[in-house]
Amino acid sequence: MRLLVTGGAGFIGSNFVRHWAREHPNDHVVVYDALTYAGNRASLAGFEGLDFVHADICDFETVDRTLREQRIDVVVHFAAESHNSRATLDPGLFFRTNVIGTQTLLEAARRNEVRRFHHISTCEVYGEMALDAPDPFKEDSPYRPRTPYSASKAGADHAVRAYAETFGLPVTITNCANNYGPYQFPEKLVALCATRALDDRPLPLYSSLGNKREWLHVSDHCKAIEAVLLKGRIGDTYLVGSGVEATIEEMADLVLDAAGKPATLKEIVKDRPGHDTRYLLDSAKLRTELGWAPEIPLRLGIAETVAWFGANRSWWEPLLEKASVDEHAWANGGTGPVVR
């Protein structure tokens, strides 16, 4: 099989490339990535010989030529602007990349008759749920995005379904819970806390410390995508979650515990606008129909992740100056944070 992995130099994409190369050594993988601040060739260390197209997914001619010349069978689409805080500061960029970029890929995939277009999406398209809500989101829950990031991902999901319905493009979609693990940019909660803790610097935590997320190790996410690519039903959506929830503060405590650092490093900062309370997915369909189950318990996964950041300073230290948002600065009415 010949795969095009968009966003393959990002956090989940690079973990997926690593996973696929290990499990399917005879397949040909092409990475397509614009190398924004979040993309990093160093995340693909050991894969220097890989076919790498350094280009924007909004560039139709390059996408079209790549699909044709590389004779791509399957597109696995991770590329996106992915940081909610950044979306609050530069929403237009998110709609451009996540909606127009996805539609550009879909159009090229249609013209080149790819056998499968797999789209990576998020739990956040369903909006927030109350802390005491009894029922998790299901595949057919209504879309109620509340932030420019989640709205742009929702727009992308709709574009994918429109290409399936209108043009018969063979698509699948996965909507996943919050990921953590190696190669995550040190702007997202676990990577931010791990790198701060290792440097004995304060961990900036939003004041709604009790807001909950469902946490999944990135390798379990990669296995879920693999299951859908190999066994998933064309046209279907699968929710990918661990069922394991933890609050922002509980996650910070797990990281501090793993790093052997004191609770006094926790520093409360003002919430960013539109900070969702909670997301939780019902992943029963993926589990029962495709036999997937998460394998890495949260405490162990966090301990391994903190250890990975401890052992890989040369990977993340150069990224600190690229971080686009200062999470301390929401107190200035949203005008203070930096965006590069």
Ligand X SMILES: NC(=O)c1ccc[n+]([C@@H]2O[C@H](COP(=O)([O-])OP(=O)(O)OC[C@H]3O[C@@H](n4cnc5c(N)ncnc54)[C@H](O)[C@@H]3O)[C@@H](O)[C@H]2O)c1
Question: Smallest distance, Å, CB 200 to ligand X?
Answer: 26
What's the closest the beta carbon of residue 216 comes to ligand X, in angstroms? 8
Q: How many residues does the chain have?
A: 340
Footprint of ligand X on this chain (CB under 6 A)?
A: 7, 9-13, 33-36, 38-39, 56-58, 78-82, 97, 101, 120, 122, 153, 176, 178-179, 185
Q: Which is nearer to ligand X, 118 or 261 (CB)?
A: 118
Spell out where 190-326 has E strands.
203-206, 212-217, 237-240, 245-247, 266-269
In this complex, which beta carbon is closest to ligand X, that of residue 35 or of residue 244?
A: 35
Minimum gap (Å) between residue 67 Cβ and ligand X? 14
Q: Which is nearer to ligand X, 239 or 261 (CB)?
A: 239
CB of 192 to ligand X, least distance (A): 12
| Nearest-approach distance from CB 173 to ligand X, in angstroms | 11
Q: How far apart are CA 253 and CA 197, in angstroms?
A: 11
For residues 81 and 249, which CB has a smaller minimum distance to ligand X in the complex? 81
Alpha-carbon dihedral 67, 234, 283, 188, rounded to 10 degrees: 10
Q: Could you tell me the strand order of the sheet in which 28-33 lies?
A: 51-54, 28-33, 2-6, 74-77, 116-122, 171-176, 237-240
Which tokens sit at 290?
Answer: 């495709």
| Residue 175 CB, nearest approach to ligand X (Å) | 7
Nearest distance in Å: CB 234, ligand X: 20
- Residue written as token pair 């999406």: 121
Minimum CB separation of residue 229 from ligand X in Å reads: 15
Determine the straight-line distance between the first and last CA of the chain, rounded to whole angstroms: 38
DSSP H/E element including 103: helix 102-111
Q: Which is nearer to ligand X, 195 or 261 (CB)?
A: 195
**153 or 223, CB closer to ligand X?**
153
Question: Beta strand pairing status for 245-247 and 2-6?
Answer: unpaired
Residue 317 is encoded by which pair of tokens? 């230290």
If the CB atoms of residues 11 and 261 are measured against ligand X, the closer one turns out to be 11
Provide the phi-psi class of 168: left if phi over 0, else alpha when psi is between -120 and 50, else beta: left
Residue at shortest CB range from ligand X: 10
Question: Tokens representing 81?
Answer: 């602007």
Please classify residue 230 by burial: count the beta carbons closer than 10 Å to its beta carbon, then call 0-12 exposed, 13-18 middle and 19+ buried: exposed
Residue whose CB is less far from ligand X, 35 or 284:
35
